[in-house]
């Protein structure tokens, strides 16, 4: 049975998750989430535990109540190199080597792969979960910042957390490892390993069929960004299945402009997610819209099967 059928839809239906990444990265992302929640196309989001505005993101989700759909954006990098940075919750000088000499995360996934001891990264990912739990965030799923934790050695840690928490992971099947390599920039053999891990833990992970991330630095005017989304929803997500359209919405504030070189992209994503045009496009293309909460609700009630499957995949 396909994922869309398990969600209660027809085998011929296309199902869409409209997902907001990077919530809690700064105040502008939190205010954006609040402005979108319940009144826009956005159906799911994920927040970054190492970032200073994570507590505010949690507070916003808690205030929204049962309709809030927020997962944990597992974070092992800080893409900014100046002015504003964040580092590991576990500290800047641990055997995992996830931080630079100043104690901040490395900027790129490639840096992490080259410098860090990936086998020791579980503690940091678990600490991010523990922070979310301590603040009372009702998690709906796990996903990965900058795709870093999709490296097979790191994804084994993600599988372990997914099993422990009984949560799905927002990730495609990646049945074509070459597509995975093109999107992640990881070498093909590593992508093949992670694809196998996803396949082996599919009942636990509940992978979707594909995702598309709104482009950075391109198609920033409202009409051209909507047209880009239309091409994705019409032609890339053309077959029956479950898909995710992912953006990074943020309010246009002095703070955002000061810290994020890509601020214009994030503001454009907010406008798109809030637009009647995107809602009309989704309806015109006959998508069924869900969040990750609905996928999480499909988790088996028996803990032992999922845990044993994930543990075997992770080891």
pLDDT of 162: 98
pLDDT value at 276 more than 70: yes
Quote the CA–CA distance of 103 and 78 in Å, as a whole number: 11
For residue 82, what pLDDT band results from cuts at 50, 70 and 90?
Answer: confident
User: Judging by beta carbons within 10 Å of its beta carbon (0-12, 13-18, 19+), is residue 288 exposed, middle or buried?
Assistant: middle
Nearest of 215, 50, 192, 194 to residue 135 by alpha carbon: 50
pLDDT of 299: 56
Provide the Cα torsion 114, 120, 122, 123; round to 10°: -120
Average pLDDT value for the chain: 94
pLDDT value at 147 more than 50: yes
* pLDDT tens string 17-62: 999 999 999 999 999 999 999 999 999 999 999 999 999 999 999 9
- The DSSP output letter for 99 is B
Indicate the range of 31-35, 69-73, 119-123, 309-313 predicted with least confidence: 309-313
Nearest of 297, 299, 279, 298 to residue 289 by alpha carbon: 279
| N residues, the chain | 315
* pLDDT tens string 46-57: 999 999 999 999
Residue indicated by tokens 């997500």: 237
pLDDT value at 313 more than 90: no
Q: What value does the mean pLDDT take over residues 157-174?
A: 97
pLDDT of 55: 98
Predicted TM-score (pTM) of this structure? 0.93
Indicate the range of 129-133, 231-235, 301-305 predicted with least confidence: 301-305
């Amino acid at each position: 049975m396909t994922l869309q059928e398990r969600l209660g839809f027809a085998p011929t239906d296309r199902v869409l998750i409209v997902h907001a990444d990077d919530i809690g990265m700064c105040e502008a992302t939190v205010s954006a989430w609040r402005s979108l929640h319940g009144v826009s196309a956005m159906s799911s989001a994920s927040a970054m535990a190492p970032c200073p505005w994570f507590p505010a993101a949690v507070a916003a989700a808690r205030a929204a109540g049962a309709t809030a759909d927020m997962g944990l954006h597992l974070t092992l990098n800080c893409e900014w190199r100046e002015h504003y940075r964040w580092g590991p919750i576990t500290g800047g000088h641990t055997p995992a080597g996830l931080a630079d000499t100043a104690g901040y995360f490395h900027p790129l996934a490639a840096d992490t792969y080259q410098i860090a001891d990936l086998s020791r990264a579980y503690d940091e990912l678990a600490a991010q979960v523990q922070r979310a739990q301590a603040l009372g965030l009702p998690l709906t799923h796990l996903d990965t910042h900058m795709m870093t934790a999709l490296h097979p050695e790191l994804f084994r840690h993600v599988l372990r957390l997914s099993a422990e928490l009984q949560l799905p992971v927002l990730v495609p099947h990646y049945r074509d490892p070459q597509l995975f390599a093109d999107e992640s920039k990881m070498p093909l053999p590593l992508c093949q390993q992670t694809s196998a891990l996803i396949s082996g833990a599919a009942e636990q992970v509940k992978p979707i069929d594909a995702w598309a991330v709104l482009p950075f630095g391109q198609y920033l005017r409202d009409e051209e960004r909507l047209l880009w989304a239309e091409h994705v929803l019409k032609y890339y997500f053309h077959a029956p299945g479950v898909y995710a359209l992912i953006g990074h919405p943020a309010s246009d504030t002095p703070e955002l402009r000061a810290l994020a070189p890509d601020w214009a992209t994030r503001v454009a994503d907010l406008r798109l997610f809030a637009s009647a045009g995107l809602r009309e496009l989704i309806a015109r293309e006959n998508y069924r819209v869900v969040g990750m909460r609905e996928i999480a609700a499909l988790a088996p009630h028996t803990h032992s099967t999922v845990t044993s499957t994930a543990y075997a995949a992770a080891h």
